[in-house]
Structure 1
């Protein structure tokens, strides 16, 4: 039989004719200039390019979208996603809550999977930055230990049975007007949730509503009522502050506005003329703000009230001769600053300290410039968990619904909430996982993750932001709003329920305003208006110090696990704590002299006594910690966290009471036994080397010597020369860059055993060193990625040429060439290369595949890994610029670490462009190369930290 087609198909013959023609080669030079400049284009390459272009054009034409809302459908099958090509990122503006306050974020999804969290530049709480907790929500979303269905008495149930149970609850609420029913929610600034609770009260007037979150207290609210005679929240504006005194807490590390505070303070220092603004900290345990402070005073909690009282008296020149010398000097600095002065107080401080700070700010005239008062953002009309415990003990609760939270783990120990919960006949729990509370409830319903649901919230300044799903829900999961809607029988869907809130609030039925706010993630102009406050006439400063106990015990949120909700996140368990660099565990922090008196060394066990309760835990003597005090981090010791977090560390909630939940007087003694605590940095000494450099703020220039001559031949200049500059004066050591790098580049978690062997895999680490006065040193943080050296010592020793230099200056790794000799790591003076000893795709610590960035390969075991300057982002920008026939713009490429940094300490760009931001940064007099004496000529350089050199407190 003759062939049906004589020769190649017509389409193939057309391509071959085009490849042989001069016109075809001209088109390649026009569309693909980089390829054409590399040399003559052969026939095979041209055929590949044209075929790929036709395939892409075909996919672009397959747009069967029927959705007129402007939102891409959330489908998990990329081939069926209307209007999107597979692998094309989609960004959703949404909101994540922490301790009730909203933080605006951008969730990037690829093929229906959320892979990255960045800050929303339009949201006042983030301004484009993101902390470690927001980024770790990706792992929480894809946690394999999440609940996959409803459970009754430990037995799986189907969604229909769960819906029937919710209907029975609704019937019981209507039949008895809510009598005997209690509802426990997490504190939230959500207007929609607040509206639903108000509607539930109207429908069932006798229902009892309570709120609980272990890190949300009322000390600040009571302090405002004492000072002003009314409830108010305080919003600080560090962008206009010349002198800031931070008392307790962590201005840059905790609280609903910490990202904004860090960003404003850094911008203020960057824009200020000399002399620079001053930051003073008075605290018990070292914090990120204390590490960054120009002057830090370590005091046990019982000494803070007299110190701040001396500052208050010193404003009028009435300082006591017995006052702390630093208090007198700080009072003078604040007095000279006047309205540009500011005093902030941590949430753990008692109400009288908050009231005293308000009085100082009023005396300075700071209200209206560096601080303002607004109506409370969080609702204060719900009962406390102590009131709920009392109602259960009195037999007034026969039904209890717990919507979010984990009170069986984190409720105050003196309430004995676990025993009380067992006494309630009908209990229902809504949560992401079957945690300690779920195990005690009759019904457990799986909760929808915030990245899977609609909702709203308010920021620390009252700004309204919306929440929308970035992925489609997998299976039966409910949000708290949906459960309340089921109790009310409102019949709305999630989106309609949210829209109904704002149609009523705005008095506007048109959808355009709602759609615009949903797309932006923020309601423009919705920040709370300031309220006028004056000092109450019967205000009493009460600065008399409480009688100190044997030891002052301070409870604090853990910088990695917060209140324990992130215990099952391998990213955060393996994230080094900013000041101790401890991983996979916690320890009680104590002053060195106190430890020496008790004969304690790192890892030794201690017994802590508080109101008859005893806790046994390891201790960590920490330089800079106040003597006579002990800090207990919360969030560890989980009993049902999941395969990653269960059984890690000790549970400080076991002795935390309800009367003094933050600061208490207790006892301390040495106990038998010790633990080997794992840390990623074993000392903070620079061993005489100029690793972290400082300059005087009166003359902020380094006399750095130019690079020496080299035996290496110079790399020929390319079209681009990518480089990075890191400002040590801006870095606060928050670790946001570390998690961003891990999320972006699919960096594996190795687990506690491998971490103890020093085999952590982070491509970016943040080292901490002591600088300044040896008697009272400050801590300087230094992020250390790959330096991308021009004279890279790693490249010349690789026996298989697996680490090579690109034409644009990147030190690249070819993973499939690497045979694991590790000679490159031995030859790297910066120790930024990591060897993958284990299989990252298996084991209990493996990152779920859904959380992987599809643009970055997942490496196999036995290869070297390191920072690549996010080469995948460089490639994406190059393609976009080529398609638009333009050069790559400065700032168009932002590495993952730079994009989330709250202080904008990291700048990335093209050094071949003399006007680029990175070139301007490297032109600063503070610029220097790390270990520049080795003449490796790194593409990553640093700007020295600025320290006060003149007279001052």
Structure 2
């Protein structure tokens, strides 16, 4: 009886525990799952989301249209958060030296530790990741006021300290650079990747697609120049990409600045491409913009500020604000100071909140060894990871979808994070409650958050503004713009980089800190096609000189530190550079994330530098375990993606002769158009499709055999001219004359009355004749029964699970079509154009996907079919696909 009562209590969480109408009104109709606004952090900064729930459980994440960092779109990390929430390997219990403990034992230990602290808290250290939460910043400030001898440190492996130093040199203060790509007419990226993964990707990708769309209409496309050492998503879409060794970056920037006439320049540089780039920037004037990225020196960042100041870009192509992060400082210096204090025996108590420094800090820094010298260490995190295993105490944290909190976006916009799902871990803590316990006044996380915003809004307006913030997903506006003057002595030339083969440390474009997430592990990286691991990216010349082929194992040596990695020659990589992705080679990331690829942190210098010269490469003569879904170089020799100059048009799509009988379709005719000119290859659509349709993960062995189950793939077509590549999403074409249908012996793949090519799984006997007859190769055979691995609390109940031995493919999200049709019938109206959004369409940050009724002449999809850029994939086969494309437009002159 007592067990039954306990189980019932655990399953009956009140509105204090998850999204509930008492906190915020649900979005959506009664026929749909309820959605609640919240916020998810990436690199410490928030992106607004809407979380769809069923029975108190989160099943799907969408972007919040009212949040400036998402604008209704999602990235791969937001989409995959629901899988991390339901990860069965999440930390489930309190541990002391690895042994499970009860909460009362933890409370007693914390009380004893607090009593052992001296009155000023000397010896107490707090360590967090990057943090922009107003509530956590307030609580940490109160802890430091109560214990003046305590210190707060941060660990951020992706921190760009050079950007901070560059802004201090240029303006004498930290600044955040917020580009407005929608208003930019010419952009120069010095190692910057504004269209690549990051907390501002969704907004910047949307803005750039708007600029392209407006430019096509006006007949004057904006210019995008990218000077970088390793290929990126932004570089792939650039009008001109300049492979640039880091040793040449400052000289190139100085050459551009000198041509622009930037005042106060200490010296000029030289580069053949500088004059043309500078001329484009000068012609754009205030709509010109220069961005410097990770890995650039402080001098390059200062040069970018000076060029923007000379162009007058502030207020047009960019906005400067105070940084949204709490207490901007040099992250690597902060962590190095903590290690020095631990080695010196000055740290007696260390509280680590939501960070994994043993894994994320450079191995040369020696954090793991220094940690042993601390008397009391407590780690709070979602997983029992590398740091948790080396701490005396470990406590589970609640997942962000389960916990109260707040955050700021890249532009400073605040938002409240509310629980939107039932807690899946019985005993779990929140950062705010742990910090309040240090203050001797234990509070729930909700009480801490409400206290913060009660002080901001005042008592009289608090209740109304609180309710509005929970419902809309924002709690205020962006940070105000600032206009600091340029320091007269801003130009401080940097030291020349060391010579020899250069190691470039870079974030893995598909992981960040999410190595435990199988959706992210199995999604091929857009520029390499690698999944379930990583590889060292070589330029083809260096690979040829060392006689290395794709997948060969090499030993990388830097300052005596060694690691084994796979070699992957990459076209576009600057000669003399080897890019080493961070985030792989984990030792304690569970069955999904452990031992995937190599750990670049083992080579990274102790100061967290993004570049290091003197890299040695020694082939081992062995092959590495590498899963790659595409060859390292696939030139577009087939003309699969036509490219147009401004004003050019393609011949209209005309029906080809067919042996299939014709039949009238007087009703709706669902169709999709994908704008290749807007697609940036970010994979958000593919992960959204996987989350929406219960698409299973097959693992590295099956993926290597070509048995991946993704219903939507993104083909990258490399071009010898700019842009360097085109990304072409390929779902099911839903052919009107479908070659898959007549060959099915049991009539399992058929057309419905609205033109959808549907699968009747109950009929399918797994002959795979339909897949053999599909020229687009978009049908997937379910070799294994993946249903037991799909958690029923996570999966979308509107989409049935498919048994082993049947074909799967894109359905145009037919369940969404059905739900919208039912809602319209209940309301006694016709379906509206744009009312139905497929999962891939909703996730796309550039709005490259349009879906609707082709038979409605006034629909958006019909209008795009009539566009002069419209083309069909393999049109000559006469399949008459319902999925068509819009060709990219290239500038007439990219010199």
CA distance in 1, matches of 2:370, 2:816: 54
Aligned residue among 288, 293, 298 for 1:341: 288
Match of 1:229 in 2: 172
Q: Which structure 2 residues correspond to residues 330-479 of structure 1 after superposition, within 5 A? A: 330-380=277-327, 384-474=334-424, 475-479=426-430
Tell me: CA distance 1:401–1:828, structure 2 relative to 1, closer, same or farther (3 Å). Answer: same
CA distance in 2, matches of 1:202, 1:813: 64
Match of 1:307 in 2: 252
Aligned residue among 255, 261, 277 for 2:204: 261
Match of 2:105 in 1: 161
Cα deviation for residue 684 of structure 1 reads 5.0
2:642 is equivalent to residue 693 of structure 1: yes
Contact 1:724 1:940 in 2 (8 A): yes
Aligned residue among 792, 813, 817 for 1:849: 792
CA distance in 2, matches of 1:413, 1:770: 37
Q: Which moved more, 1:473-482 or 1:724-733?
A: 473-482
Match of 2:220 in 1: 275
Match of 1:291 in 2: 236
Structure 1, unaligned runs of 5 or more: 1-64, 76-80
Q: Which structure 2 residues correspond to residues 528-677 of structure 1 after superposition, within 5 A? A: 528-542=479-493, 546-562=496-512, 565-672=513-620, 673-677=622-626
2:699 is equivalent to residue 754 of structure 1: no
Match of 1:10 in 2: none
CA distance in 2, matches of 1:901, 1:625: 28
Aligned residue among 116, 124, 127 for 2:71: 127
Cα deviation for residue 795 of structure 1 reads 0.6
2:182 is equivalent to residue 239 of structure 1: yes
Give the number of equivalent residue pairs.
871
Contact 1:929 1:940 in 2 (8 A): yes
Give a deviation string over 1:417-475, Cα, whole Å, max 9, x none: 11111121211000001001111111100001000011111111111111011112131
Contact 1:549 1:666 in 2 (8 A): yes
2:893 is equivalent to residue 946 of structure 1: no
Match of 1:50 in 2: none
Cα deviation for residue 916 of structure 1 reads 1.1
3-state SS, counterpart of residue 362 of structure 1? helix
CA distance in 1, matches of 2:547, 2:98: 48
CA distance in 2, matches of 1:244, 1:716: 50
CA distance in 2, matches of 1:317, 1:180: 49
Cα deviation for residue 670 of structure 1 reads 2.6
Q: Which structure 2 residues correspond to residues 731-880 of structure 1 after superposition, within 5 A? A: 731-773=679-721, 778-842=724-788, 846-880=789-823
Cα deviation for residue 847 of structure 1 reads 3.9
3-state SS, counterpart of residue 182 of structure 2? helix
2:465 is equivalent to residue 513 of structure 1: yes
Cα deviation for residue 541 of structure 1 reads 4.8
Cα deviation for residue 269 of structure 1 reads 0.9
State the TM-score, normalizing by the size of structure 2.
0.94
3-state SS, counterpart of residue 452 of structure 1? coil
Match of 1:219 in 2: 162
Tell me: CA distance 1:322–1:156, structure 2 relative to 1, closer, same or farther (3 Å). Answer: closer
3-state SS, counterpart of residue 942 of structure 1? strand
CA distance in 2, matches of 1:723, 1:82: 30
Match of 1:171 in 2: 115
Match of 1:892 in 2: 835
Give a deviation string over 1:217-266, Cα, whole Å, max 9, x none: 32111110001112211111111000001111321113321211111000
Cα deviation for residue 712 of structure 1 reads 2.0
CA distance in 2, matches of 1:616, 1:919: 53
Q: Which structure 2 residues correspond to residues 136-147 of structure 1 after superposition, within 5 A? A: 136-147=80-91
Contact 1:571 1:749 in 2 (8 A): yes
CA distance in 2, matches of 1:664, 1:559: 20
Contact 2:498 2:614 in 1 (8 A): no
CA distance in 2, matches of 1:258, 1:932: 34
Cα deviation for residue 656 of structure 1 reads 0.9
Contact 1:99 1:187 in 2 (8 A): yes
2:146 is equivalent to residue 203 of structure 1: yes
Aligned residue among 451, 455, 469 for 1:504: 455
Tell me: CA distance 1:450–1:107, structure 2 relative to 1, closer, same or farther (3 Å). Answer: same
Cα deviation for residue 85 of structure 1 reads 11
Cα deviation for residue 511 of structure 1 reads 0.7
Cα deviation for residue 322 of structure 1 reads 8.0
Contact 1:144 1:848 in 2 (8 A): no
Cα deviation for residue 314 of structure 1 reads 1.1
Match of 2:48 in 1: 104
Tell me: CA distance 1:782–1:632, structure 2 relative to 1, closer, same or farther (3 Å). Answer: same
Contact 1:87 1:854 in 2 (8 A): no
State the TM-score, normalizing by the size of structure 1.
0.88
CA distance in 2, matches of 1:307, 1:156: 57
2:151 is equivalent to residue 194 of structure 1: no
Match of 1:14 in 2: none
Q: Which moved more, 1:310-319 or 1:783-792?
A: 310-319
CA distance in 1, matches of 2:762, 2:292: 54
Q: Which moved more, 1:321-330 or 1:715-724?
A: 321-330
